[in-house]
């Protein structure tokens, strides 16, 4: 991974703030919930601060931390920074992570009858291409670092997981990749809830495999 220049880091800070405001303004996060991080070229992380609305991020005050949790500068990092760190350690291809408490995804995470190995059915091609597989991670109280072990056990076979009674955690090669996948997940969760009591026609296994082959 090549080093991130000062100008690139400044641009990333601005992008985090811009995407955070966009997610907040569109109702995909609320209050001080949700967090975003980006991995820099030296392996350190930029992360949103604790108790800070994604709609009011100051690029200059973003937390700068190491992957093992050392706080380098900026405001105190989100209390869920450990969650981001465990994903980066498990997935060397992850360049950014978005974690939200988005309404429809959380609603699905509360349902008792979803398959834990892959929560949502393949309703659309874009869901398969952007999200693919979505394992359910068992519930842990907010801030419980045992959650990191549970996420690590699932994230190796998927780049997105759904935390039970909590919300999605989505990794991407870039911040835009993570953002778009998170938004696609939320829209698919909304579709699933709208259609839940009706007979549906999801993509067939052959259609899903074809989409995955096209991405390789």
DSSP result, 105-143? HHHHHH-TTS-TTS-S----HHHHHHT---PEEPP--TT
Each residue's pLDDT tens digit, 53-98: 999 999 999 999 999 999 999 999 998 999 999 999 999 999 999 9
Catalytic residue chosen out of the listed positions 80, 183, 184, 186? 80
Give the mean pLDDT of 204-213. Answer: 94
- What is the C-alpha separation between 43 and 129, in angstroms, rounded? 27
Each residue's pLDDT tens digit, 102-112: 999 999 999 99
Do 166 and 97 form a contact (C-beta atoms < 8 A)? no
Confidence band of 1 (pLDDT split at 50, 70, 90): low
- What is the C-alpha separation between 95 and 163, in angstroms, rounded? 20
Domain boundaries, the chain: 6-215
Q: What share of the chain has pLDDT > 70, as a percent?
A: 99
Q: What is the pLDDT of residue 5?
A: 87
Catalytic residue chosen out of the listed positions 56, 126, 187, 206? 126
Do 54 and 23 form a contact (C-beta atoms < 8 A)? yes
Helix (H) or strand (E) holding 160: strand 160-163
Kindly give the interhelix angle for 175-195 and 6-25, rounded to the nearest 10 degrees. Answer: 20
Q: What is the pLDDT of residue 86?
A: 95
Q: What is the pLDDT of residue 132?
A: 94
Which backbone phi and psi does 118 adopt, to 5 degrees?
-165, 95
Q: What is the pLDDT of residue 50?
A: 96
Q: Given 3-state DSSP classes, what are the helix, strand and coil percentages for the chain, each rounded to the nearest 5?
A: 45, 15, 45
Using alpha carbons, list the distances in angstroms from residue 142 to 11, 82, 139.
31, 11, 9
What is the distance in angstroms between the CA of the first residue and the CA of the last residue of the chain? Answer: 22
Q: What is the pLDDT of residue 7?
A: 87
Q: What is the pLDDT of residue 25?
A: 97
Give the mean pLDDT of 14-29. Answer: 97
Report the predicted TM-score, pTM, of the whole model to 2 decimal places: 0.95
We find that the CATH architecture of domain 6-215 is 3-Layer(aba) Sandwich (3.40)
Q: What is the pLDDT of residue 214?
A: 83
Does 180 qualify as catalytic in the annotation?
no
Confidence band of 145 (pLDDT split at 50, 70, 90): confident
Q: What share of the chain has pLDDT > 90, as a percent?
A: 90
Mean pLDDT, the chain, whole residue set: 95
Each residue's pLDDT tens digit, 120-144: 999 999 999 999 999 999 999 988 8
Does 209 qualify as catalytic in the annotation?
no
Give the mean pLDDT of 185-213. Answer: 95
């Amino acid at each position: 991974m090549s080093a991130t220049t000062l100008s690139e880091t400044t641009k990333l800070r601005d992008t985090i703030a811009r995407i955070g405001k966009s997610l907040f303004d569109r109702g995909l996060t609320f209050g001080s919930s949700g967090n975003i991080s980006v991995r820099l070229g030296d392996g350190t992380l930029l992360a949103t601060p604790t108790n800070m609305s994604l709609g009011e991020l100051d690029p200059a005050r973003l937390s700068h931390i190491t992957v093992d949790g050392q706080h380098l500068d900026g405001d105190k990092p989100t209390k869920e920074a450990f969650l981001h760190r465990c994903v980066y350690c498990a997935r060397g291809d992850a360049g950014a992570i978005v974690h939200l408490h988005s309404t429809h995804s959380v609603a699905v995470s509360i349902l008792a009858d979803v398959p834990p190995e892959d929560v949502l059915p393949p309703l659309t091609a874009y869901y398969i291409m952007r999200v693919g597989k979505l394992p359910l991670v068992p519930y842990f109280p907010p801030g419980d670092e045992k959650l990191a072990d549970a996420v690590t056990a699932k994230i190796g076979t998927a780049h997105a997981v759904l935390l039970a009674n909590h919300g999605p955690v989505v990794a991407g090669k870039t911040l835009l990749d993570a953002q778009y996948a998170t938004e696609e997940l939320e829209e698919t969760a909304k579709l699933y809830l709208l259609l839940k009591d009706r007979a549906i026609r999801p993509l067939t296994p052959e259609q899903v495999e074809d989409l995955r082959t096209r991405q390789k």
